[in-house]
């Protein structure tokens, strides 16, 4: 059950992350590039991935300063993916986070460059030149970069997006659909949990439990997203409702039907909570409540 204390924690963390994003996404990038980058990442979004990083860091009593950098980096990767996904050559959408998409506002070339720059900036944030090694050890920097790169690349988010585009208008069975979303959406959510865990002591059993938690939660998030796409209006979602159905894309709702999609989301929620319990973490309350929030959300 979501509590007032959890709501206060979320508000505080969102302020912290938003301030860091504003600080590290440069307005002074040349030829309007900084303006397009900031438009694409600031002042909108659930910030679920940063919240997962911070909560996982708390769960392992990790380094909160390092986790803030990891939180910003993973949000930059997520934001860049949305900028590119919305472009006419991909999903061709005109609304994101309740406002015109970046290519509508800044042109296709501007959107492409803004996404490219945000992707590079994510790794720049994780490898700060202005901090001594004892503040953020090179080993931790390398580990965080590796986790993020693998989640964002061909084996993760980019690979999932490639499958999604190739599957448009074609029948897709449940196994293939699950694999697509495990990559496209789940990999970055799972990496968010693991990046937070990497900032503190986490033995192999704990790491495995958090990895399973992140994997189940990532897939549950996408199923709920598919459900909301057909049950909520655009003004509620902040993006174009029914877009996947109109584009003839396979989703959990079109492949399994709405009742079964809801059943699977509930089952994955339970799997995530069971994995978290297996980790026997001293302070996993915020992770548990974030899992509840993912499944119970209405936008």
Q: What is the pLDDT of residue 203?
A: 96
Q: How confident is the model at residue 298 (pLDDT cuts 50, 70, 90)?
A: confident
Question: How high is the mean pLDDT of the chain?
Answer: 93
Over residues 89-99, mean pLDDT: 91
Per residue in 65-85, pLDDT (tens digit) is 999 999 999 999 999 999 999
- For 123, residues 6+ apart whose C-beta sits below 8 A from its C-beta are 73, 145, 148, 149
Mean pLDDT over 174-187 rounds to 95
**pLDDT tens per residue across span 189-202:** 999 999 999 999 99
pLDDT of residue 242: 66
Instruction: Identify the pLDDT of residue 237.
Output: 67
Q: What is the pLDDT of residue 241?
A: 62
pLDDT at 131: 74
Give residue 105's pLDDT: 96
Per-residue pLDDT band for 64 (boundaries 50, 70, 90) equals very high
Classified by CATH at the fold level, domain 4-296 comes out as Farnesyl Diphosphate Synthase (1.10.600)
Per-residue model confidence as pLDDT tens digits over 238-296: 667 666 766 678 899 989 999 999 999 999 999 999 999 999 998 999 999 999 999 99
**Is a pLDDT exceeding 90 seen at residue 172?**
no
Return d(Cα 140, Cα 143) in angstroms, integer.
Answer: 5
Q: Kindly report, residue by residue over 36-58, the tens digit of the pLDDT.
A: 999 999 988 899 999 999 999 99
Kindly tell me if the per-residue pLDDT of 235 is higher than 90.
no
Mean pLDDT of 86-113: 94
């Amino acid at each position: 059950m979501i509590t007032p204390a959890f709501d206060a924690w979320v508000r505080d963390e969102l302020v912290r992350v938003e301030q860091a994003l504003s600080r590290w996404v440069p307005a002074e990038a040349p030829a309007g590039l900084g303006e397009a980058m900031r438009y694409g990442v600031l002042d909108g979004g659930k910030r679920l991935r940063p919240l997962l990083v911070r909560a996982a860091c708390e769960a392992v009593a990790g380094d909160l300063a390092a986790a803030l950098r990891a939180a910003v980096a993973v949000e930059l990767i997520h934001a860049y993916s949305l900028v590119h996904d919305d472009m006419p050559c991909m999903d061709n959408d005109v609304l994101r986070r309740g406002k015109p998409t970046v290519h509508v506002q800044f042109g296709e070339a501007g959107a492409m460059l803004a996404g490219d720059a945000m992707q590079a900036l994510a790794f720049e944030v994780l490898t700060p030149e202005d901090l001594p090694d004892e503040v953020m050890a090179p080993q931790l920097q390398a580990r965080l970069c590796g986790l993020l790169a693998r989640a964002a690349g061909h084996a993760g988010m980019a690979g999932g997006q490639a499958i999604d585009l190739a599957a448009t208008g074609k029948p897709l069975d449940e196994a293939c659909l699950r694999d697509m979303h495990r990559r496209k959406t789940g990999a970055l959510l799972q990496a968010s949990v693991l990046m937070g865990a990497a900032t503190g002591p986490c033995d192999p059993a704990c790491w495995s439990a958090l990895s399973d938690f992140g994997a189940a939660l990532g897939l549950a998030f996408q199923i709920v997203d598919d459900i909301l796409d057909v049950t909520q209006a655009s003004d509620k979602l902040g993006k174009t409702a029914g877009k996947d159905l109109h584009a003839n894309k396979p989703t959990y709702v079109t492949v399994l039907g709405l009742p079964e999609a809801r059943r699977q989301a509930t089952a994955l929620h339970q799997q995530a909570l069971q994995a978290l319990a297996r980790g026997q973490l001293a302070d996993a309350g915020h992770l548990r409540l974030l899992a509840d929030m993912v499944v119970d959300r209405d936008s």
